[in-house]
A = this chain, B = another copy of it.
Amino acid sequence: MTGAPQHETSPEHPAPTDQIRRVRRFNRTVTERVGVLHDHYLGRSRPVGEARLLWEIGGRPQDVRRLRERLGLDSGYLSRLLRSLETDGLVVVEPKPRDRRVRTVRLTSAGRAERSVLDARSDELAGSLLQPLNSAQRARLVAAMAEVDRLLTAATVAVDVVDPDHPDARWCLESYFAELQEAFDTGFEPGRSLLPDAGELRPPKGLFLVARLYGDPVGCAGLKLPHGAAAEVKRMWVAPDARGLGLARRFLAELESEAARHGHDTLRLDTNKALASAIGLYRSAGFREVPAFNDEPYAHHWFEKRITLPAAAE
């Protein structure tokens, strides 16, 4: 409260700088409270690095390389950490049968025990944040935390153009088809649908986006960019885990600006009546329902939106 000097701002409604000021206040408070306590609690019995690692290995065996990526560690350093956990009898590191260059790590039962100690500490930390508050305050804090968590997670999702044959893309598409199969009362056979072949979603005839969270794919969206016709959104899907992050809206915005950048002035799409929330999304994103512009057997609704190059955003 006494605290650091502040910018001088005074707008009525939160201007960008005002937002930034508040984010900074948040960062400060949170790193002080959560950060300090976090290290304090976690590090009581072993270095934070080891604790984090133990934690990240978790239930199932993990490839060393994956851990390295996930935690962003130097391979030498990680190796040493693993050695240390190994001599403490907490993990076992062994070559992976299919590719003996790669090694996998799994927790021993001692490791699992240690991990559950860390778990308890983490609970303790969480409790210590709530403890001084009365129950109304607790409820509000938890709700606000959930909102921050959700939105920061959303901000962490990276959307990239990838080839539709990339493993992450394929994984998304398979999940998407599986979901359609469930959702449509007619079922869904990819073969019967008017699906563009991969070539149509690859430059120069189109493009394909994959969203990833901490390296794991969590959604995809394709765009057809036919010569002399409207651009078309295809195969947009968001993993159930990643819903509520505004990702679909982000895909649409991205595709829209890509389409505009390629000289298209109309974006369209078709969809199935079973996908009610998608339909709501399209409407609220500015799409208008139009007569069928193709004879996709699985489609019940067709939408269209006039697009323009966005003004210098940000």
Chain A interface residues toward B at CB < 8 A: 1-2, 4-5, 14, 19-27, 29-36, 38, 55-56, 58-59, 72, 122-123, 125-127, 129-134, 137-142, 144-149, 151-157, 213-214, 216, 218, 239, 241-242, 246, 249-250, 253, 314
From the candidates B123, B133, B146, name the one contacting A26 in the complex (CB within 8 A): B146
Smallest beta-carbon distance A178→chain B, Å: 17
Are B129 and A22 in contact (CB-based, < 8 A)?
A: no
Smallest beta-carbon distance A21→chain B, Å: 8
User: CB-CB < 8 A to A4: which residues of B?
Assistant: 55-56, 58
Alpha-carbon distance A104/B1, docked complex (angstroms): 22
Are B27 and A125 in contact (CB-based, < 8 A)?
A: yes
Are B27 and A153 in contact (CB-based, < 8 A)?
A: no
Alpha-carbon distance A246/B134, docked complex (angstroms): 9
A1 — nearest CB in chain B belongs to which residue? B241
A139 — nearest CB in chain B belongs to which residue? B14
What are 18 A-to-B residue pairs whose CB atoms are below 8 Å? A1-B153, A1-B241, A5-B58, A19-B130, A20-B130, A23-B126, A23-B129, A23-B142, A25-B145, A27-B122, A27-B126, A29-B149, A31-B38, A32-B156, A35-B35, A133-B151, A137-B154, A144-B148
Smallest beta-carbon distance A219→chain B, Å: 11
User: CB-CB < 8 A to A157: which residues of B?
Assistant: 132
User: CB-CB < 8 A to A141: which residues of B?
Assistant: 23, 147-148, 151-152, 155
Alpha-carbon distance A249/B136, docked complex (angstroms): 12
Are B145 and A22 in contact (CB-based, < 8 A)?
A: yes
Q: With A147-B144, A151-B133 given, is the CB distance from A35 to B31 under 8 Å?
A: yes
Are A59 and B5 in contact (CB-based, < 8 A)?
A: yes
Smallest beta-carbon distance A175→chain B, Å: 13
Smallest beta-carbon distance A243→chain B, Å: 10
Chain B CB within 10 Å — which of A1, A38, A153 has the most?
A: A1
Alpha-carbon distance A314/B141, docked complex (angstroms): 16
User: CB-CB < 8 A to A38: which residues of B?
Assistant: 27, 31
Given A2-B214, A31-B35, 18 additional A-B pairs, CB 8 A: A2-B241, A14-B139, A22-B145, A23-B129, A24-B122, A26-B149, A27-B34, A29-B153, A30-B149, A33-B152, A33-B155, A33-B156, A132-B154, A132-B156, A133-B151, A140-B151, A144-B147, A144-B151
Smallest beta-carbon distance A199→chain B, Å: 30
Are A133 and B148 in contact (CB-based, < 8 A)?
A: no
User: CB-CB < 8 A to A32: which residues of B?
Assistant: 156
A243 — nearest CB in chain B belongs to which residue? B1
Alpha-carbon distance A12/B127, docked complex (angstroms): 20
Alpha-carbon distance A55/B5, docked complex (angstroms): 9
Alpha-carbon distance A27/B58, docked complex (angstroms): 18
User: CB-CB < 8 A to A134: which residues of B?
Assistant: 246, 249-250, 253
